[in-house]
Structure 1
């Protein structure tokens, strides 16, 4: 039962990644199950989206908590976080599109733990003069992290590198420092 549920979720990510407006029938067809099976696991499309978001939040929170525990400088910790979360961000990039639509409030509410951890990291960077102070930490972290999802959504070659450098620039890290941090990581 869990295997079918997990397969439906994995297929849903692919289907919704191709078409964020895809319906439950499209997901059922792609998963090679009947619609009733999908609805048996997820009574509504919103339940499916919530579950996908919960999976993404759990994965991102685990990575961010682990990175924060290293005690590295905030800008280096950001680089490590983006490097480790890139596959997660790329896999769940459809949530950005869905966050702008009818499911925005539900997705935004579930992302609270990630948002809080990111804001803490940015605030630490602001306190240590690694990040700019022109915006509050919570807003600045969302701007920088939004860039990561935007680049993931465009599937650029060397996307992880581009996302990391661009997000560091958004945080106010000088370009030479941003590039050096990324090059040190690789």
Structure 2
């Protein structure tokens, strides 16, 4: 076997392990490395060849989740959108990537600590802060909280809404969650609903882990 083929096989195995870990740990946070090897369809030795211990596996998975979410957020050019539509699209994109977003937060909180969590989420949070600043400059949003406080609150609220879906308290495909984010950010309800409807027409590819191409509007329709 050529060196090039070995490298490709190794990369494919690493990718397979991370995909399996993302699915397995989102449902069973305490799953063992043996469980992961079985889920990935590889032997335990292969898992340890790429990730010598659980901490390295979790760190690699957190990096992958963050990169995938940033890639999803980068598939839409929000600079040309109205501020409220851009913020709604951001909220819809994060919601579409909900499972890995929840997993990312969980991994960072439990394995990286507060400083690690902030560092990992900084590029994502920076986009939210930029969109919120643009929204305020439009004059259509209330200014009831400092931007850093508002950004942190919106992140916590989004996670709480996702957890409500997990707990069976809510069936939601994203539209109402996006409206809630815009209202909490200071936009009147009717305007938040209109912005979310417009944002639902913006097409991109959410990171669903299987390569399936979908649009935000399809995710919204599911809610």
Shorter-chain TM range is 0.7 to 0.9
1:28-177 paired onto structure 2 within 5 Å: 28-67=37-76, 69-105=78-114, 106-153=116-163, 154-155=165-166, 156-177=170-191
Instruction: Tell me, in whole angstroms, the C-alpha distance in 1 between the residues paired with 2:156 and 2:172.
Output: 17
Which consecutive unaligned segments of at least 5 residues does structure 1 have? none
Pick which of 10-19 and 142-151 moved more: 142-151
Larger RCO: 1 or 2 (CA < 8 Å, sep 6+):
2
Structure 2 CA distance for partners of 1:72 and 1:57, relative to 1, 3 Å: same
The answer (yes or no) to whether the contact 1:53–1:107 under 8 Å persists in 2 is no
CA distance in 2, matches of 1:173, 1:80: 15
Normalising by structure 2, report the TM-score: 0.71
Based on CA coordinates, which of the two structures has the bigger radius of gyration?
2
Cα distance in 1 between the residues matched to 2:36 and 2:121: 24
**Aligned residue in 1 for 2:28:** 19
Quote the Cα distance in structure 2 between the aligned partners of 1:5 and 1:77. 35
**CA shift in 2, pair 1:78/1:35, >3 Å:** same
After superposition, the Cα gap between the structure-2 partners of 1:87 and 1:13, relative to the gap in structure 1 and judged at 3 Å, is: same
8 Å contact kept, 2:105–2:117: no
Structure 2 unaligned segments of length 5 or more: list them: 1-9, 201-216, 218-223
Q: Could you tell me how far 1:171 is from its partner in structure 2?
A: 0.8
Deviates more, 1:7-16 or 1:160-169: 160-169
Provide the residue aligned with 1:3 in structure 2. 12
Measure the CA separation in 2 of the matches of 1:26 and 1:139. 40
Aligned residues: 186
Contact 1:119 1:137 in 2 (8 A): yes
Inter-CA distance 99–162: structure 2 relative to 1 (3 Å threshold): farther
TM-score by length of 1: 0.84
